[in-house]
């Protein structure tokens, strides 16, 4: 699920570099849909992983961390848009998403194969 959401976000941002007119609504909807699909999965994982005494705190901190990238990126995106350079963000951010996804998948695959574990 994480891979599908990450790839759809990356593709949506890359597609929005082009002059797509009304089809930009589809890009925005795909980004919102990805967030709405991913949030319940992450909440459930955190809910099941946290002990009862710390569950509320962990979910609260996770909610804070969810909003943090928007707070950090908003001034950057605003400045790029003001100077007509928003395309830089729309290309660089998908590259970072794909790099993070590839790193995650490589780590997940490495953890899946205990024969590659240097401690064994």
pLDDT digits (tens, 9 = 90+) for 40-65: 888 888 888 888 888 889 888 988 88
Number of domains composing the chain: 1
- Cα–Cα dist 84/41, whole Å: 36
- Cα–Cα dist 77/89, whole Å: 7
Tokens of 21: 């007119």
- Cα–Cα dist 50/39, whole Å: 16
**Amino acid 116: pLDDT:** 55
**Amino acid 113: pLDDT:** 64
- Cα–Cα dist 72/51, whole Å: 30
**Amino acid 115: pLDDT:** 55
| Residue span of the structural domain in which 36 resides | 2-116
């Amino acid at each position: 699920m994480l891979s599908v959401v990450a790839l759809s976000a990356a593709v949506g941002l890359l597609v929005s570099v082009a002059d797509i007119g009304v089809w930009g609504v589809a890009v925005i909807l795909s980004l919102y849909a990805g967030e709405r699909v991913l949030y319940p999965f992450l909440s459930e994982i955190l809910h099941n992983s946290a002990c009862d005494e710390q569950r509320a705190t962990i979910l609260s901190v996770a909610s804070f961390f969810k909003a943090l990238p928007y707070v950090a990126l908003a001034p950057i995106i605003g400045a790029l848009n003001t100077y007509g350079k928003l395309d830089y963000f729309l290309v660089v951010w998908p590259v970072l998403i794909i790099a993070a996804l590839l790193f995650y998948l490589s780590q997940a695959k490495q953890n899946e194969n205990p024969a590659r574990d240097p401690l064994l």
